[in-house]
Structure formats: C-alpha cells, structure tokens
Amino acid sequence: MILCANPLAQFQSYQAEIEEAVLTVMRGNRYVLGDEVFSLEQEFADYVGTTAAVGVANGTDAIELSLRALGIGSSDEVITVSHTAVATVAAVEAVGASPVLVDVESQFYTLNPSQLEEVTTSKTKAVIVVHLYGQAANMDEIKSFCAKRNLFLIEDASQAHGAKYNEKRLGSIGDIGCFSCYPTKNLGAIGDAGLITTNNANLATKIRMLREYGWNERISEFSGRNSRLDELQAAILRVKLKYLDVDNSKRRKLAEYYTSELTGFPIQLPEIRAKTESVFHLFVIRTKNRQNLLDYFLQEGIQASVHYPVPVHLQPAYKDRITTAFDMSRTESLTKKIISLPIYPELPLSDAEKVVAVLKKFLNQA
C-alpha cells in the first residue's frame, strides 16, 4: 500500500539519532521542561526568525494559549476560515470566544482578505490566518487589515513549518505563530507536541506561565493550565529540525514531479502564490469524480485522502450556530472535489510514478 503520509518512514530515516536522543533523556533526571525543551525553543525561534518560541502539548493548545495570552475570551470574536482543521475553531471556543468564519481564495485555499471587512464588528479582537497545505496566505493584505482595525494577527502554521512569504518564515509575520507537531506534520513528533513563536517578549513570558498554571515561582499569578511539552518529544523534534529544510526540499521535488506529469489533464493542480515558498505538507488536486477516484486508487493499492471533506460551519457541532461570511461558496464547492495525493519526504519516486500512472489511467477512462 502506498500511504498518503508515513511518519514511520521518517523515524526510520533518523532512527539512530532519535533513539540516542530519547535514551539521553531517559538516562537523565529531568523529564518535563528541561534542557531539551529549552534548547528546542531557542533552535526553533532561530529557525523561524523570532526572538522566542514556547513548547506546548499540541497545536490546538498553541492557539488556545496564544488567545489567552492576548486577553481574548468571553464576548470576543475571532475571525478565521471554515476550510481548516476543526482544531483551529475548537481553540477559539475553548477560551470562550466566538469564531467567525470566512471563505477562502479559490486558487490558494487560504483566507479571503476581501471578506474581512464584512464580518468585523466591535467585538472582533483577532484574525487567525491558516497557512494551508504548506501554502502561505496573503499576509500583506491580511496584516494591513489587522493593523488598520487594531486586531491581533495569529498565524496557524501547523501545515507550513519552514514555508516562506516574501523571504520570511511563516510564524514570524503576525503577532504570534502557532505550530502543531503531530506526527504527520512537516516537523512531526512521535506523539503530540506544539510550538508557539513570537517577537514579543511579554507575550512569550505570559505563554510560558499559562502553559503551567499561570505560575511565577510556582505561584499562580493568573489562571492557567497544564500544556507542557515533554522532554522526549522535544528531543525528537530537535533531531528532526536539523533536517527540516532537506525534507521540505524532497517534498517540493515530489510536487514538481506531480505537476510536470499531470499538467494538461482534466484536474486542477495546486497553484503557488507569488513570492512564496510552499513546503507541500499536502499535494491537493481537484476533480469532479472524487469518490470514484478514491475508490480506484484504493483498488490499485494507493491511499489518497481528503483534507478536509466538510467545512467547519457545516459540521454537526457547528451548523446553524456559528457566524459566517455571506458567501461561503468557494469552500463549499472545493471541499466536494479535493483529494490529497501521497506526499512525504521518504516517498520513493517509483511510488509517485505509480500514483501518476494510476491517476492518468483513471482520467483517460473517465
């Protein structure tokens, strides 16, 4: 079976280093918030280009703690997209704020800046922009809007570790950057993990306190919670961070192969925004015959996937109770047609060639 993603393959690529890093932690005497976490935080901040990074338990917590650090809570509104992982919206509700969802740009699948004015109210406090599939959102327009309306800008870069916009790493452009390090991510742990980046020293300090009960010298100065990144995951991420650019380059080469082989066929291929560098967390195409293609792939031993099949505003937990922009047609249309082809750094070219051959055969028969 050719998998859509394969975190085991990445472990095997760096197995000796990862195992040694884990054993070093286990042989030590500090298992929570020790040297591995502190070193990872500095190394990741240096990589992204921010003055600080904070390790937390997962990507959802990264967004929630960022909102809390910004003082966002009950009676506040936060704008984001409906075409995202539910975690983005769940984090907003976790702080008691109300999510307000907008549509995406049809060619890039990221937040449509032209709808921000429509949904902004006196209660709006922040915009969470989602850099989806490894692709940067339109940060110039979004950042300009946030500055004009005095709104905080949070980057959900959970699918874009290492990606760039105008030569800047994503996660360094807004007030705060949030990263999931779930095992399938470009920078993935072997378990749950998350990172927060910022250039604001006061925010970094507050987030560090919030992740551990609001403690200052073990006295809670304000209400916090437990969202600590453990030493084992930090040690694993430090190993993988060294190879992130190399692994992202492998993803881009696979994407280039898919694009060169599939151009001209009756499918829509990913478009890359000008002055950006995608890291192709996913390679997403659009087709009119999605379910038939998914079934055909599976018959041929290929696991494709869908990210994401149902917009957040149409899912049972949120339908009819969440505010959206008037026009959500792009999201509602594309979610019926998108398919993620297999892509990960260790995917053999021979497997990519099979994916292309099977897809071409399907399209020629359709």
The per-residue pLDDT for range 126-173, each reduced to its tens digit, is 999 999 999 999 999 999 999 999 999 999 999 999 999 999 999 999
Confidence of residue 44 (pLDDT cuts 50, 70, 90): very high
- Beta carbons of 285 and 279 less than 8 angstroms apart: no
365 has pLDDT over 90:
no
Task: Say which CATH topology domain 7-103+112-241 has.
Answer: Aspartate Aminotransferase; domain 2 (3.40.640)
Per-residue pLDDT of 191-215, as tens digits, reads 999 999 999 999 999 999 999 999 9
Tell me how far apart the terminal alpha carbons of the chain are, to the nearest angstrom: 24
pLDDT at residue 366 is higher than 90 = no
At 125, is the secondary structure helix, strand, or coil? strand
β-strand partners of 128? 154
pLDDT, average across residues 54-77: 98
Fold of 244-365: Aspartate Aminotransferase, domain 1 (3.90.1150)
- The model's pTM: 0.97
Q: What is the mean pLDDT of residues 283-310?
A: 97
Q: What is the CA radius of gyration of the chain?
A: 20
Show Cβ contacts of residue 281 under 8 Å, excluding neighbours closer than 6 positions: 133, 134, 159, 160, 185, 186, 251
Cα separation values, 355 from 299, 309, 334, Å: 12, 21, 22
Is the model's pLDDT at 263 over the cut of 80? yes
Residue 246 has pLDDT above 90, yes or no: yes
Q: Enter the tokens of residue 116.
A: 């921000």
Q: For residue 308, is the peptide bond before it cis, meaning its omega torsion is within 30 degrees of 0?
A: yes
Domain spans of the chain, in order of start:
7-103+112-241, 244-365
Q: What is the pLDDT of residues 231-241, one digit of tens each?
A: 999 999 999 99
